[in-house]
A and B are shown apart, each in its own frame.
Chain A
Amino acid sequence: MSVIERIKNQLESNPVVLYMKGSPDFPQCGFSGQTVQILNACQAKYTYVNILEDPELREALKEYSNWPTFPQLYIKGELVGGCDIVIDLYKKGELATLLGSAGGAQ
């Protein structure tokens, strides 16, 4: 499977995917950590991928999404954004709605 197929596969089989540095328990970057905290605050059900363990996926994602930084949050296959946008949507109350529409909130 090519790396692009792997990305598509991950996004099709999981409604909410967070590509991050490290894991939710041990984030390796402050921005990834903040994003995890916000998803937790929304009680979101999500899948994560640690891009530090997969350099090929990491580089391919930057091209795939036209987005050069991590974390990257996807809901229903669409890029929602990085840490800034996730915080912004959370403050506006829109993140819970998005997560709910994807079945990603409890």
Chain B
Amino acid sequence: MTVELIKRLLNDAFKPELLEIIDSSAAHAGHAGARSGGGHYHITIISQAFEGKSLVQRHQLIYNALGDMMKQQIHALGINALSPSEETKGTHK
């Protein structure tokens, strides 16, 4: 299952303190982008790996970790990537 695979890849890559994945594919079924079969997911991830990284760099790290999944299984990925210090500062939305 796609969510399980995403979870495994991200756990391996980032050893996150928190990882939540929401599958919102059903809400997008039928629109143009969903036709190819890729799902819509939203992840919230807190990991030391994001400390000192820009938003673009964090997303690129996540895309890299997911690799080929981004080509087929995932059509859209919402990302909320935080470092532990940001989380405790209350910037977590």
Q: Are A85 and B70 in contact (CB under 8 A)?
A: no
Instruction: Please pick, from A21, A30, A66, A79, the residue contacting B64 in the complex, using a CB distance under 8 A.
Output: A66
Please determine whether B32 and A67 come into contact, CB atoms closer than 8 angstroms. Answer: no
Interface residues on A, range: 10 to 19
In the complex, the answer to whether B55 meets A67 with C-beta atoms within 8 Å is: no
- A29, CB-defined interface residue at 8 Å: yes
Interface size class, chain B = 10 to 19
Is the C-beta of B89 less than 8 angstroms from some C-beta in chain A?
no
Q: Is B85 an interface residue (CB 8 A)?
A: no
Task: Answer whether residue A31 sits at the interface, using C-beta atoms and an 8 A cutoff.
Answer: yes
B76 touches A81 (CB 8 A): no
Q: List 17 A-B contacts (CB under 8 A).
A: A28-B32, A29-B32, A29-B33, A30-B31, A31-B76, A66-B60, A66-B63, A66-B64, A67-B60, A67-B63, A68-B71, A69-B70, A69-B76, A84-B59, A84-B80, A85-B59, A88-B55
